[in-house]
Chain A
Amino acid sequence: MVDKIKVEDLSCYYGKKCVLESLNISVVQNEILSIIGPSNSGKTTFLRTLNRMSDLDSIYSRRGDVYLDSASVFDMDMEELRKRIGMLFAMPISFPMSIYENIVYAPKRLGLIFKKSEQDALVEQSLKDAFLWNEVKDRLKSSAMKMSGGQQQRLCIARILAINPEVILFDEPCSGLDPISTARVEESMVELKRKYTIVLVTNNVKQASRVSDRTAFFLMGKIIEIDTTDKLFVSPKKKQTEDYITGRFG
């Protein structure tokens, strides 16, 4: 059990409003940690703090520290950090270019690949890992915008895999997808766990129970409970957790 990410006494603010309050949590290497909770509980803010996407927001501020392999992410170079911690958003955002270009975009910018043969190999490997290769291998040059939502989301996964991160953050990755596409994305998540550490924010409690090793329940910017998924769902210690997972509120 190696801690990949360690969060120490983290508080986040938007303007004067406190959205996360003295958070202490760690993410273990090669696990899927789910974060569940009603909206406004600070789940997404937490996720976006890990790879410092929140820093883009001018009214955002924070206290506390986040360590990735015992180095503080706030001291790291922003681009380097985001190369190590990839992020998948709620809406599939394929760039307005071909499927092929979508995948090689970031590795090229980061200077990870140079030769055409390397690019081809990378595209094939990433698409295979994201369970998309068979569906698109004959139309790599066509626009990514023409794919279905589920395919686009898996393309986004492939795009992240292409930069070979250590941690992948999933921000409600299936909220806009149909059940079949959702199953595909979940399938790939479980598969990816072998190589990567995954943090999954989800509004879908059942999804958390299906894929994750541990689950944390957030409420109003605080962690109410965190435990292995089996325990949390079968015998939650707190009343609020039980109410939420059984659907009595939120």
Chain B
Amino acid sequence: MRKIIDTMIEKVIFLCGMLSVIFVILIFSFLFIESFAFFRGFNIIKFIAGRYWYPDSEPVSFGIFSLLVGSFLVTLGACLIAVPLSVMTALYISEVVSKNVRDILKSLVELMAAIPSVVIGFIGMIVLVPCVRKLFNIPTGLTAFSGSVMLAFMAIPTIVTISEDAIRSVPRQYKEGALALGATKWQTIRRIVLKTARPGIIAAVMLGIGRVIGETMTVMMVTGNSSRIPHSIFEPVRTMTAVIAAEIGETVSGSMHYKALFSIGLVLFLITFIINFAAELFLGKNKNK
């Protein structure tokens, strides 16, 4: 009897473990099948490199280049803002402040992660967008820049929390060893602490990017949703995620438009997959060193 229970539990655990793998495979194949059908009717090169996203006009054009640029701009901007800010915050929390302040700061940063993205988008719309419009004296504050700022807000908690853990797990002896050799605090942080914690910090940044690139609600609310190729970050853009979210409800199931949206989903999936894979490769490389 005990043996049967044992085998059964083992099977159940195995099944649970396999389930997540199966889901990923299912999602991927679903995206792939829909996209494959789409690419039989629409040239893949035109899809990736086409400048115009006119799903409803005649003749239709499903070019996602402007969306790719939009997503790329917003993500890049968010990274440029969030990464230095987060790493320095993490350094401050783990290396500078006293223990009491550290606990308060850390839980506050973690609380930031709990803010729903629609609320962040809302605050962006009400507060940031008018500011951006006035500050830079441009026709609309709904720009890629606004999207970057709001997304940076969403990435910061992830990056701070994980890189703080990485920085704090640098053995105390490393720091002491460097200090005992006459290095200053900053030299120790830059050459020893950051260097040792680098794999963890990179993983944190990758996770942050993953969150930013897939974020939909906030960007939809503050980037202006105009699917043109922008000339600067102070122009409205439209991201891939926003297109899917805005249009999937209005399409006829099985139509070309519907399938085109799945193809965008596939592109997004591939991008995040590549980012994760790159991070994994990098971490693995560092571990063996």
Residues from chain B with Cβ under 8 Å of A156 in the complex: 177
Q: How far is the CB of A112 from chain B (nearest CB, A)?
A: 10
A51 contacts B by Cβ under 8 Å: yes
Q: How far is the CB of B189 from chain A (nearest CB, A)?
A: 12
Residues from chain A with Cβ under 8 Å of B176 in the complex: 53, 56, 89, 93
On whether the beta carbons of A86 and B181 are closer than 8 Å, the reply is yes
CA distance A81 to B182 in the complex (A): 7
Residues from chain A with Cβ under 8 Å of B195 in the complex: 96-97
Interface flags for B176-191 (1: CB within 8 Å of A; 0: not) read 1111111110010001
On whether the beta carbons of A82 and B182 are closer than 8 Å, the reply is yes
A83 contacts B by Cβ under 8 Å: yes
Closest to A55 in B: B179
Partner of A91, one of B173, B181, B289: B173
B98 contacts A by Cβ under 8 Å: yes
Known A89-B177, A91-B173: A79·B183 in contact at CB below 8 Å: yes
B48 contacts A by Cβ under 8 Å: no
Partner of B178, one of A80, A95, A160: A95
On whether the beta carbons of A93 and B182 are closer than 8 Å, the reply is no
Q: How far is the CB of B57 from chain A (nearest CB, A)?
A: 58
Known A96-B195, A96-B196: A110·B182 in contact at CB below 8 Å: yes
Residues from chain A with Cβ under 8 Å of B180 in the complex: 51, 53, 82, 86-87, 89
On whether the beta carbons of B174 and A58 are closer than 8 Å, the reply is no
On whether the beta carbons of B181 and A143 are closer than 8 Å, the reply is no
On whether the beta carbons of A106 and B192 are closer than 8 Å, the reply is no
On whether the beta carbons of A56 and B179 are closer than 8 Å, the reply is yes
Closest to B183 in A: A109
Q: How far is the CB of B166 from chain A (nearest CB, A)?
A: 13
Interface flags for A60-89 (1: CB within 8 Å of B; 0: not) read 000000000000000000011111001101
Q: How far is the CB of A51 from chain B (nearest CB, A)?
A: 7
Closest to B190 in A: A109
Residues from chain A with Cβ under 8 Å of B181 in the complex: 82-83, 86, 105-106, 109, 159-160, 163
CA distance A91 to B171 in the complex (A): 11
Residues from chain B with Cβ under 8 Å of A97 in the complex: 195
User: Which positions 260-289 of chain B face chain A at CB distance < 8 Å?
Assistant: 289
On whether the beta carbons of B177 and A109 are closer than 8 Å, the reply is no
Residues from chain B with Cβ under 8 Å of A82 in the complex: 179-182
On whether the beta carbons of B182 and A80 are closer than 8 Å, the reply is yes
State which size class the interface on A falls in. Answer: 20 to 34
Q: How far is the CB of B169 from chain A (nearest CB, A)?
A: 13
User: Which positions 3-43 of chain A face chain B at CB distance < 8 Å?
Assistant: none
On whether the beta carbons of B182 and A105 are closer than 8 Å, the reply is no
CA distance A196 to B173 in the complex (A): 24
On whether the beta carbons of A106 and B173 are closer than 8 Å, the reply is no
Q: How far is the CB of A177 from chain B (nearest CB, A)?
A: 16
Known A97-B195, A105-B191: A79·B182 in contact at CB below 8 Å: yes
Residues from chain A with Cβ under 8 Å of B183 in the complex: 79, 105-106, 109-110
Residues from chain A with Cβ under 8 Å of B98 in the complex: 58
On whether the beta carbons of A95 and B177 are closer than 8 Å, the reply is yes
Q: How far is the CB of A93 from chain B (nearest CB, A)?
A: 4
Interface flags for A106-132 (1: CB within 8 Å of B; 0: not) read 100110000000000000000000000
Residues from chain A with Cβ under 8 Å of B179 in the complex: 53, 56, 82
Residues from chain B with Cβ under 8 Å of A95 in the complex: 174, 177-178, 192, 196
CA distance A56 to B188 in the complex (A): 13
CA distance A33 to B63 in the complex (A): 79
CA distance A143 to B176 in the complex (A): 20
On whether the beta carbons of A83 and B182 are closer than 8 Å, the reply is yes
Q: How far is the CB of B229 from chain A (nearest CB, A)?
A: 44
CA distance A53 to B176 in the complex (A): 8
CA distance A129 to B243 in the complex (A): 68
Interface flags for B147-189 (1: CB within 8 Å of A; 0: not) read 0000000000000000000000001011011111111100100
Interface flags for B192-216 (1: CB within 8 Å of A; 0: not) read 1001100000000000000000000
| Beyond A82-B179, A95-B178, A96-B289, 20 extra complex contacts between A and B, CB < 8 Å | A53-B180, A80-B182, A81-B182, A82-B180, A86-B181, A89-B173, A89-B176, A89-B177, A93-B173, A93-B177, A95-B177, A95-B196, A96-B174, A96-B195, A106-B178, A106-B181, A110-B183, A159-B181, A160-B181, A163-B181
**Which positions in A face B, CB cutoff 8 Å?**
51, 53, 56, 58, 79-83, 86-87, 89, 91, 93, 95-97, 105-106, 109-110, 143, 156, 159-160, 163
**Which positions in B face A, CB cutoff 8 Å?**
98, 171, 173-174, 176-184, 187, 191-192, 195-196, 289
